[in-house]
Amino acid sequence: MIQRLRDQLLIPALAVVMGLFVGAIVMIVTSPLIDGQFQLDLPLKAYGALIDGSVGSFNAIIQTLVEATPLVLAGLAVGLGFKAGLFNIGAQGQFLLGALGAALVGGWLAGASPWVAIPLALLAGVIAGAIYGFIPGALKAFTGAHEVVTTIMLNYIALYILAYLITGPLRDPFATFARTVDVGNAALPLLPETRNGHIGILLAAAAVPIVWWLLFRSTLGFQIRAVGANPDAARYAGMRPRALIILTMSVSGLLAGLAGAIQILGLTKHMPIGYASSIGFDAIAVALLGRSHPLGVLLAALLFGAMRAGSGLMQVRAGIPVQMIDVLQGVILFFLAADVILRWVFRVRARGTGIGQESTVTRSYGGQTSI
């Protein structure tokens, strides 16, 4: 057990270490010389600020949790897809639709009692996300259309649905900039003594064990993993890959939609035009770093959330542009994908390749038609 855990954690942890190392080099070589010298202490300053800004105080920790919340949920969404052999690139679209659903219903119920408004607004986001996950699931199950292609296209459709609705029917007539009306009483309440620590944090925290239970303790989860590992064998064993694919994509969309709903109801309180967010795409990185395991996703989301929470202080104290966070994220992903390099650098021998390791990502196009 310990051995397996170590194996699971080792490569992601080494990828993070390498990411920070490469990030340090990038910082040093891209910063201006002082007296003709590289600023060798810059990475220490930057990472110090990053740590201080993410876990250095009560408020910083809350901020990390706030930033991690949508990443946990959307990361679980993508991870769940991976487990079933589905590459859900559409988490972004499902996230946006979930956000829109929550903004819409939240806006309608802005004057209602919070006990009614909050659950219904969240539910609207969840349903919108689930429907938006159902579509590519059904397309794949019945026509064999690859979910990578359909979800990418659906992301664009979501973007333009949003642009239309927010500049058109859903536009707040009193706002100069196109946006939906304020969600009022549907806004998520704050945890005591926090500045913006909304209860969405608790929902994300609850989702981790629920998804874990679903995947590893329920029959359904076993079937999902079986379909992911080998749909032909799963069908041979009497499972129904089609239904499972649709279900998995819907649940995946549900989680991403919940992430979007929480962002709107917990943070912005309305949906502006050009709602800039890359949560759905960052979630792919989170799922990969977390190896699609709910606990891994949680850890990865906390790491990325901490980087975002600390990035402001990093800019202030060390003058490092916020884009450094994207560099770190990218390098970490690179080393995860090219783990051969990691194994070579750190002299880690590949262990358990073959039968023992469950390494489902997706099947190629060729395999899709057989479902």
Partner 1 sequence: MRRTRVTALAAVVAATSIVAAGAVSAQSPGEGWKVGLVTDVGTLDDRNFNQYSWEGAEQGAQAIGGTATAIVTQGSADYNKNIQTFIDQGTQVIVTVGFALGADTVAAAKANPDVFFIGVDQGVCIDENGDNDGTFTCAGDPAVLLPNYQGVIFAEAQPGYLAGIVAANVSKSQHIAVIGGAAFIPAVKNYAEGYAAGARSVNPDIKVEIQYVSDDLNKAFNDPAGGKAFAEQLLSLHPDIDVLFQAAGKTGNGVLQAACEAKAANPDVWGIGVDVDQFLSTPENAACILTSAEKKLSNAVSAAVQAAADGTSVGGNSLYSAANEGIGLSPYHDHEAAVSADVQAAVDAAFQAMAAGTLDPLGATAP
Token digits of residue 105: 């219903």
Q: How many CB atoms are closer than 10 A to CB 198?
A: 22
Find residue 37's DSSP bridge partners: 34
3-state DSSP assignment of residue 338: coil
Shortest Cβ 199–partner 1 spacing (Å): 17
Judged by CB, which is closer to partner 1: 233, or 322?
Answer: 322
3-state DSSP assignment of residue 355: coil
Find residue 34's DSSP bridge partners: 37
Contacts to partner 1 by CB under 8 A: 53, 57-59, 63, 163, 167, 172, 174-178, 195-196, 263, 267-268, 272-278, 309, 312-313, 315-316, 319, 321-322
Biggest alpha carbon–alpha carbon distance for the chain? 72
Token digits of residue 20: 């920070």
Token digits of residue 147: 């979910």
Judged by CB, which is closer to partner 1: 150, or 263?
Answer: 263
Shortest Cβ 273–partner 1 spacing (Å): 6
Shortest Cβ 186–partner 1 spacing (Å): 17
Shortest Cβ 44–partner 1 spacing (Å): 18
Shortest Cβ 268–partner 1 spacing (Å): 5
Q: How many CB atoms are closer than 10 A to CB 154?
A: 24
Judged by CB, which is closer to partner 1: 284, or 313?
Answer: 313
Shortest Cβ 135–partner 1 spacing (Å): 25
Shortest Cβ 195–partner 1 spacing (Å): 7
User: Taking the chain, what is the end-to-end CA distance rounded to the nearest angstrom?
Assistant: 35
Token digits of residue 268: 């912005």
Judged by CB, which is closer to partner 1: 141, or 204?
Answer: 204
Judged by CB, which is closer to partner 1: 15, or 320?
Answer: 320
Judged by CB, which is closer to partner 1: 162, or 203?
Answer: 162
CB 280 within 8 A of CB 71: no
Shortest Cβ 112–partner 1 spacing (Å): 20
Q: Report the Cα 164 to chain-centroid distance in Å.
A: 25
d(CA 208, CA 73): 8
d(CA 344, CA 342): 5
DSSP state of 268: I
CB 183 within 8 A of CB 261: no
Judged by CB, which is closer to partner 1: 57, or 218?
Answer: 57
Judged by CB, which is closer to partner 1: 152, or 273?
Answer: 273
Token digits of residue 203: 């929902």
